[in-house]
Structure 1
Amino acid sequence: MKITENKYFKKIVIFLTLLLLLLVVIPIPYFIEMPGSSENIRDHVTVNEKRDNFDGSFMLTTVAVQQATVATLIQGYFTPNNDLISKKEMMGTSSDREYEKMQTYYMETSQNLAIKNALDLAEKPYDMTYEGVYVMEIGEDSNFNHLLEVGDTIYAVDGKKLNSSKELTDYIQDKKPGDKVKLSFIRDDQKKEASAKLMKLPETKKTGIGISLVDHTEIESKDKIDFQTDEIGGPSAGLMFTLELYGLLANKDLRDGKEIAGTGTIDQEGVVGRIGGIDKKVIAADAEGAEIFFAPDDKIDAEMKKYDPEIKTNYQEAVESAKKNKLDIKIVPVKTAQDAVKYLEK
């Protein structure tokens, strides 16, 4: 009798151990997004080997991402401001390695564009070299799939040298789906070429290549600008990097002792672009004591509305999150870096 009971007990222990592993340890192909951290940018940027020593701070904000297990999935369902997203929603068709590379390139590009805009604001000279267009993601349906790789730099189309990603987009959109184009690109310091047919993009119905892209630029200036952002990826710190650098380059106190956070990409003209997870970034900023939060006041066009009838501007999303979570933080809409500077100088 005791031997039989012992066998049953062992089976129960094994079953419970396997169940615990399934619930707590074994990952599932989903991620949980939640409010992350707010980082003081003075810890990540120097100009001529000097850091920002004015009172207050500029903060970049992050969204925390956790690989889901069954246990964290259940916990996340009952936790406010946590969202569950599939691996495909977050990474598209990219592998883990490609996704990490993509985030690194986004960060490098946002830094270069922030330098360019900060130097413009400070009216300081520089030389900008346009290297081409980074390939950030390749759609499964793209005819260039398996011909291009994440990290390739496209520098010409049909022999025409590119001076911006807009030139590439405009050139492609003047053609029809099915037309063939030749892309010249650099991979591992070697020049290569690939030809394939264009497609109709499912989201916009316009002619396209079926890739995500971002400008690859290099800035040379007399001022020595360094970033220390090894643990941070993505393009969303562009605006806040610009403000931090402008203050350092112009030796100007923009904050007047205030704690200021914000988010948004930045382009060559200083336009602030939308980002994901702004509802969570506002919460992270408030938790760190930010008084002001700059949010992209991006334009929602008819095509975007058609694709997602419920879409809102980043500014609207930030305001809703602040109200919903009863946050004591002022949300300020900005369309350009200059808008943020004007607000701070008032």
Structure 2
Amino acid sequence: MKKRWSKWLVLVGVLVLIIGLFLPLPFYLETPGTAENLSNFVRVDHKKDQRAGKYMLTTVALQQARPITYLWSKTQPFSETTSKDDLMGNDSSETFNQLQTYEMQSAINDAIQVAYKKAGRSYQRKYLGIYVMSLMKRSQFNGKLAIGDTVTMIDGHHFKSSTAFINYVKDKPVGTKVTVTYQHKGQTKKTTQRLIHLPNTKRSGLGITLVDHSTIKTKIPVKVTVSDIGGPSAGLMFTTAIYDQLTGGHLRKGRKIAGTGTMASNGVVGPIGGIDKKVVAANHEGATIFFAPDIPATAAMKKADPGYQNNYQVAKKAAKKIHSHMKIVPVKNFTDTVNYLAK
């Protein structure tokens, strides 16, 4: 009898352990990620940056919660939970991942443009078409186009923006046939389907979510290769690393420099999420400088959240909490970054 109970207790214990380790919970955990050396990702003129010190992009770790990781997260000061809706909205996991990949590539393109323009080096930005982010179930193009395809022409017409694409089809009657030329995994394909009525609008369309897709060409070759990291938040640090290599590598001066922030094509630095966790990651890697977006709150933002703090304020607070000696540097545009490092 005792042996039988012992076996049942062992089985129950194993079952509890399996559930604790593997049962997915309906939310995600956000925790400090890593600070990655940009010399592993960026090549300018086919050369790796091998000078002393390093520039680092910073990340937030994201994982689906499980009972044991959720309990562990409660012991961590910079851990947060987030629902799938808050994280992805109405997007599927596939669409969300595709968006993250697209945003990373756009961040790289903008970083190259800003760095080359600031350095006085030639570049050319080429519009490729519209990037397919998602397709409505009732779209006639569903099953023909795929997420990640690039539409290059409609009815033989090239356009220079997604707005121009939309304007071409929006006034055509629902049911009109249009021929779409697109790139799918490097191959050029065509499909002819009917336009549908777009819900909550008075116009017709293909029934896809789209964004502009472009590429950038430079006389001095530059290559940025990043895998398993998505989103636009590394834009500022990409720009800094590329610019410094283009101009002789005199800015870093042997220092370990981290930061975060989106980079617009006009050089403006934009806010990002999870900056407190990125401060922790940078501090762990020994960074002495951390660049943080310093975008003032609008009146509407203050009204919605009277206690709102921008990225720079949150970053300073996080550094103080972990007793870090990193210098948290506020930046509004790329020129702020260059001027600080050149001092």
Residues matched between the structures, number: 331
The change in CA–CA distance for 1:311 and 1:149 in structure 2 (over 3 A counts) is: farther
Residue 95 of structure 1 corresponds to: 92
* Per-residue deviation, residues 285-343 of structure 1 (Å, max 9, x unmatched): 11111111111123433454555555432112212211222221111111111221122
TM-score normalized with structure 1 length: 0.80
Corresponding position of 2:33: 36
CA shift for structure 1 position 255: 1.5
> 2:279 is aligned with what amino acid?
V
Aligned counterpart in structure 2 of residue 83 of structure 1, from 80, 83, 105 = 80
Aligned: 1:260 with 2:245: no
1:270 aligned partner: 267
* Alignment-derived partner of residue 293 in structure 1: 290
After TM superposition, list the pairs within 5 Å mapping 1:174-193 onto structure 2: 186=182, 188=184, 189-190=188-189
Equivalent residue runs for 1:218-257 within 5 Å? 218-257=215-254
Structure 2: distance between partners of 1:309 and 1:149? 43
Greater Cα offset, 277-286 or 333-342: 333-342
Could you report, residue by residue, the CA deviation over 1:209-243 in whole angstroms, capped at 9, with x for unpaired residues?
99986542211112111223123222111111111
Counterparts of 2:207 and 2:276 in 1: how far apart (Å)? 29
Aligned amino acid, residue 73 of structure 1: Y
Q: C-alpha displacement at 1:7, in angstroms? A: 2.8
The amino acid across from 2:232 in the alignment is P
Cα gap change, 1:302 to 1:156, in 2 (>3 Å): farther
Q: What SS is found at the alignment partner of 2:48?
A: coil
SS at 1:129 equivalent? strand
- Paired with 1:246 and 1:298, the residues of 2 have a C-alpha distance of 23
Structure 2: which amino acid aligns with 1:241?
F
Distance 1:242-1:70 versus aligned 2 partners, 3 A rule: same
Partner of 1:57: 54
> For 1:130-149, what aligned pairs fall within 5 Å after superposition?
130-136=127-133
Q: Report whether the alignment pairs 1:315 with 2:300.
A: no
| Per-residue deviation, 1:76 | 0.6
Asked if residue 108 in structure 1 is aligned to residue 118 in structure 2, the reply is no
Query: Take 1:11 and 1:63, find their aligned partners in 2: how far apart are those partners?
Result: 41
Q: Shift of the alpha carbon at 1:197?
A: 5.9
1:66 corresponds to: 63
Instruction: State the distance in 2 between where 1:307 and 1:239 align.
Output: 28
Q: 1:266 to 1:149 in 2, by over 3 A?
A: farther
CA contact (8 A) 1:114 1:266 kept: yes
Q: Which amino acid aligns with 1:16?
A: G
Given that 2:136 and 2:142 are in contact with CA atoms closer than 8 Å, whether structure 1 keeps it comes out as no
Paired AA for residue 41 in structure 1: L
Question: Hey, what does 1:17 align to over in structure 2?
Answer: 14
Identity of aligned residues (%): 42
Query: 1:236, 1:264 within 8 Å by CA — same for their partners in 2?
Result: yes
2:329 corresponds in structure 1 to: 332
> Hey, what's the Cα distance between the residues in 2 that align with 1:111 and 1:309?
34
In the aligned structure 2, how far is the partner of 1:25 from the partner of 1:11? 21
TM-score by length of 2: 0.80
- The change in CA–CA distance for 1:23 and 1:272 in structure 2 (over 3 A counts) is same
List alignment gaps of at least 5 residues for structure 1: 176-181, 202-208
Following superposition, the deviation at residue 50 of structure 1 comes to: 0.9
- Residues 199 and 210 in structure 1, CA contact (< 8 A), matched pair in contact too: no
Q: Report the CA distance between 1:116 and its aligned residue.
A: 1.0
Q: Secondary structure at the match of 2:330?
A: strand
Partner of 1:205: none
Structure 1 residues 143 and 262: alpha-carbon distance in aligned structure 2, compared to 1, 3 A threshold: farther
Look up the match of 1:206: none
Work out the CA distance in 2 between the residues paired with 1:306 and 1:191: 50
How far apart are 1:38 and its partner, in Å?
0.8
Amino acid at match of 2:253: D
Distance 2:228 2:317 in 1: 29
For residues 308 and 161 of structure 1, do their structure 2 counterparts lie closer, same or farther at Cα, with a shift above 3 Å needed?
Answer: farther
Q: 1:58 is matched by which residue type in structure 2?
A: Y
Counterparts of 1:195 and 1:149, CA distance in 2: 17
Instruction: Give the C-alpha shift of residue 80 in structure 1.
Output: 0.9
Question: CA offsets per residue over residues 181-217 of structure 1, 9 Å max, x none?
Answer: x9x784624466785667789xxxxxxx999865422
Say what the alpha-carbon RMSD is for the aligned residues. Answer: 3.8
Corresponding letter in the other structure for 1:57? K
Is the CA contact (8 Å cut-off) linking 2:151 and 2:183 kept in structure 1?
no
